[in-house]
Structure formats: structure tokens, C-alpha cells
Amino acid sequence: MGMTMTQKILAAHAGLDSVKAGQLIQANLDLVLGNDVTTPVAVKEFNKIGVDKVFDKKKVAIVPDHFTPNKDIQSAEQCKFIREFAHEKEVENYFEIGEMGIEHALIPEKGLVVPGDVVIGADSHTCTYGALGAFSTGIGSTDMAAGMAIGQCWFKVPSAIKFVLTGKPQNKWVSGKDIILHIIGMIGVDGALYKSMEFVGDGIQHLSMDDRFSMANMAIEAGGKNGIFPVDEKTLAYVKEHATKPHTVYTADEDAEYDEVYEINLAEIEPTVSFPHLPDNTRKITEVGEVKIDQVVIGSCTNGRIEDMRVAANILAGKKVAKGVRVIVFPATQKIYLQALKEGLIEKFVQAGATFSTPTCGPCLGGHMGILAKGERAIATTNRNFVGRMGHPESEVYLSSPAVAAASALTGKITNPEDIA
């Protein structure tokens, strides 16, 4: 019986000719990642193991991005703790303020993940790197500690759901975010529980790398273990631009088995919004109705890349955000920040009345830099709209693409970009 793309990568990293769904394996890791929330717990666990160094100084990455720039004394202490660990263990990929970014935008940008890699990260959105044809998945702090010590992690080999993407988006405002929200709405927040989401089909050629990163990023929002794209010319061009380490291209076998197969015609996708309080509570933009908002958040590991900045800036350009609406834009990395600066995007944001922040995960998880009060409502290009996600338990978060978020900033209610331009 054939293997899925994910199964092939896992088999190769476990030193096996083949694996099948449900099999427990021990796989070698190409990268172990953590942030300022999860790494402190991992360091404490690492110290209990009794090894004096990490398995490979080049294959550990620590990115303080959640509560940074440090939001309070306790956060500062947590960051200090992991900074000292990184220095002591000579972790090569520790990224301090000034060079850091939101981990899942930064790691690909720094060329630390390439096709065929196996990556674990103590952050649920580690699944983002599936866009590059790598197996990457979120784990917890203890797994991170074990990974840093022995360079391996146990996995139950997942079965897979195949999503065959056909056609080309016809609505010019449709992005990868709309496609993944549509898919999550279709299969539910546990629709891919424990499984791989393997995206295939002719439609993929129309999706940029930024679109694919957004989509793989939200596989976890359907419960998926990973989301993965085949490697094509766009992937290879991205790898060539960013990475120097060798890569391996894996493809699914013709006779690979899938639990389910969905065919999705991209021409039929419309801009999509997730209503509170679950990402699968989706509606097409044309069915949203009248939803007034207090805040607009554009950024995050899902939508803080340069294309996201461009789309939002160009909708806001020469216009003013609606009175009483707070618009917070945060690019995902310093490189994206600089690119936005060079392209004049920051000026467009500021002229329109939006703020432009340093890279941080802050607002997305209700950490800092844009917390909601009781009864307030935000539209956000982030990834979760759970109860209390961005602040008070009685606040609300609506998830959308940067285009919908920017259009909404101009009107003060959730708005179809079609109606603005």
C-alpha cells in the first residue's frame, strides 16, 4: 500500500522503508522550536534530563515573540530565563528583539526549514511550514525539552484527508485565508483531528507562498496534526531565495490511502469570515449582515506577511479609518517591516489612521498591544476567535483576510472589499 506525502517524510526520518497510519515511530528532528511562553517550561524539563547540551546547536530555534517587547516584569523574567539558556547552550538560532519576528514567519524567512524536513515546535501553529513541503507540527514544552536533548520525537503516524484544489480564484479579494476558513467551516474544528491535511491539485499553482503559509498555518484550527503542500516551482524559488541547507522533495504515492477526499473549486470561494467563538463558524462575506466593530487587527503568524501588508495598505491608501475604530497593523518580521517601509506601505497605514507595530504575537492571543474590553468586537486576520481570546471573556473576535479587515476599518462594520474599491 502506498504512503501519503507526510508518511513518506516520517518514514525517512524514522529510518524505515515504509510506515502506516497508527504506527508509533521515533523520528529524527531537523528543527526544534520554542517561544517565550513555552520555552521556560521546556528549559525546566530539559534540566531534569541531565544532559549538558542540546543535541545540535544549529537545530534548535528559540524565538521570544509572544509577550515581547516584554509586557511586564514577569514576562521579562521569562525572556531573561530563556535568553540565558540559549546563550549557555550556544543555541545558534536565538532571535532577540531587533532581529526577531513572529516565529512562523521568521523560521521560513531565515531558511531554517526546507522541503522534506521534520520540525516540532512548542507552538500550535508550527504546522505553518507544511507550505514548504515539510512535516511540521505543534507539540508541548515537554516534547520540546526531549527534542532538544535527544533530537528525536515519538509520533503516531497520521492518516490523511486529501483536499483537491481545482480552478482559479475568480473573486480578486480571495486569498489563502479565505480558502482555509472555507475548509474549516466545511469540516469543523475537529474535522481533521489527529490527521494530515494534504493539499493537492491544479489550483495550487494559483496560490502564492504567502497564501500557502496562511493555509498550512490554520490546519491546527481543524484539529489537524499537519497541513502539507506539494513542492512546486514557487516552493523551490522560495527555498532558493531563503535557504542554503539541502532539501528533499517527497511526493505522495499514487495508491496512497486517504480517509476522505474533498474537491474544492477555488473559483467558487468567496471572502469568508469566522464568527465567534469558533473558527468553523464561517459565513460568506455576502451573508455577514450588519456587524459593527471597535477594533481591527491585521497581522499575526497567519496574515502578517508582505502580501497581507500590501493588500491592506492599498485598500486603506488615501482614505481614513472610520471614527471610533482602532486599527492595529503588525508585520510578522523585521524584514517584512523593512519591506513595508521601502514600499511606502507604512505611510499609507499611518496616513489612514492605523497604528503600525513592531512584530509581536501580542494582540492575537490577548497578551498585550490591543486587548478588548467587555462587550467589544474586533475583526482580526489572526487564527482563533475562542471565548476571551483577545481580551475580556465577553468580547468577540471575527476572523477574516487582510482585505476584509482593511475594508471593515474604513466603514466600522464588517465589509466586503468589493463595496469599497
> Which residues from 16-45 bind other proteins, rule CB under 8 A?
24, 37-38, 40-41, 44-45
Cell numbers linked to 330: 503588525
In which element (H, E) is residue 28 found?
strand 24-28
Please pick, from the candidates 20, 53, 194, 259, the single residue that binds other proteins as defined by CB under 8 A.
Answer: 194
Beta bridge partners, 275, equal none
Nearest approach, Cβ of residue 191 and other proteins (Å)? 10
How far apart (Å, rounded) are the C-alpha atoms in residues 332 and 355?
15
> Which residues from 130-189 bind other proteins, rule CB under 8 A?
138-143, 145-146, 149-150, 154, 189
Cell numbers linked to 334: 523585521
Helix axes 209-217, 176-187, angle to 10 degrees: 30
CA 62 to chain centre: 16
Q: Is 259 in the site for other proteins (CB under 8 A)?
A: no
Contact stretch for other proteins (CB under 8 A) within 220-228, 268-276, 288-296, 338-346: 220-228
Nearest approach, Cβ of residue 292 and other proteins (Å)? 23
Contacts for 328 with CB less than 8 Å, ≥ 6 apart: 295, 296, 297, 298, 299, 354, 355, 357, 363, 369, 370
Q: Is 282 in the site for other proteins (CB under 8 A)?
A: no
Contact stretch for other proteins (CB under 8 A) within 12-20, 107-115, 168-176, 379-387: 379-387
Q: Count residues near other proteins (CB under 8 A).
A: 52
If the CB atoms of residues 30 and 45 are measured against other proteins, the closer one turns out to be: 45
Cα Rg of the chain (Å, integer): 20
The single residue listed with the C-alpha cell 494530515 is: 196
User: In this structure, which amino acid lies at residue 108?
Assistant: P
Nearest approach, Cβ of residue 361 and other proteins (Å)? 9
How far apart (Å, rounded) are the C-alpha atoms in residues 300 and 360?
8
Q: Is 126 in the site for other proteins (CB under 8 A)?
A: yes
> Which residues from 71-90 bind other proteins, rule CB under 8 A?
71-72, 74-75, 78
With the C-alpha atoms ordered 405, 409, 410, 415, is the resulting torsion angle positive or negative?
Answer: positive
| Residues of this chain that bind other proteins (CB under 8 A) | 24, 37-38, 40-41, 44-45, 48-51, 66-67, 71-72, 74-75, 78, 121-124, 126, 138-143, 145-146, 149-150, 154, 189-190, 193-194, 220, 223, 225, 278, 365-367, 371, 384, 386-389, 393
